[in-house]
Amino acid sequence: MFQLDLKSRKTIYEQVVDNLKELIIAEVLQPEEKLPSVRELSKTLTVNPNTIQKAYRELEYQGYIYTVTGLGTFVAEPRETAINPIQLEEITARIENDIKELYFLGLNVEEIKKIILPFVEERGENK
């Protein structure tokens, strides 16, 4: 499903969380799709099952997935409410950094807008 980078400084736990999030955001994993069980995933990735368990708990806490006892774990519908302020701040900082970089490349305001706005609109149309 995804690869882990053992040389990375990121912990395996963070990598599992981030990889699954990415797959969910990119809709490779569709809402209501069943995720592999903790056991299955730990075996395919050769990762400590306790780590996978913790990653699933974190994703559930962040609202990306939900668990039904006895049935398994599923991808959640994208949320309408409850935006996590810390996450929002983090992502905003990331965007800010990228825009700074574009200025540094020598682009002007209009050119940057031309790059960014289509992304915003494209995603909005899909929803």
Partner 1 sequence: MIKVDHVNKNFDRFKALDDLNINVNKGSIYGLVGTNGAGKTTIIKHITGIIRPDSGQITIGGEDVFDNRNVKQKMGFIPDDLFFFSTYNLKEMSKFYKALYPNWNQERYAHMVTQFDLDEGNKLSKFSKGMQKQAAFVLIMSSMPDYLILDEPIDGLDPIVRKLVWKYIVEDVAEREMTVLVSSHNLKELEGICDSIGIIAKGHMIMERDLDELKSDVHKIQVAYKKKPENPYKNLNVLHLETRGTVDLLIVKDKKELVEQTIWKNNPVLFDLLPLSLEEIFIYELGGADHEIQSIIF
- In terms of CB distance, is 21 or 54 closer to partner 1? 54
Q: What is the DSSP string of 13-82?
A: HHHHHHHHHHHHHTTSS-TTPBPPPHHHHHHHHT--HHHHHHHHHHHHHTTSEEEETTTEEEEPPPPSS-
CB closer to partner 1 out of 32 and 101: 101
Binding site for partner 1 (CB under 8 A): 6, 9-13, 38-39, 42-43, 46-51, 54, 86
The smaller minimum CB distance to partner 1, of residues 22 and 90, is found at 90
In whole angstroms, how close is the CB of 9 to partner 1 at the nearest point? 5
Least gap, CB of 53 to partner 1 (angstroms): 9
Rounded to whole angstroms, how far apart are CA atoms 72 and 1? 17
- Minimum distance between the CB of residue 51 and partner 1, rounded to whole angstroms? 6
Shortest Å, Cβ 45 to partner 1: 9
Nearest to 56 by CA among 9, 27, 20, 24: 20
The phi and psi torsions of 50 (rounded to 5 degrees) equal -65, -35
Q: Which is nearer to partner 1, 49 or 63 (CB)?
A: 49
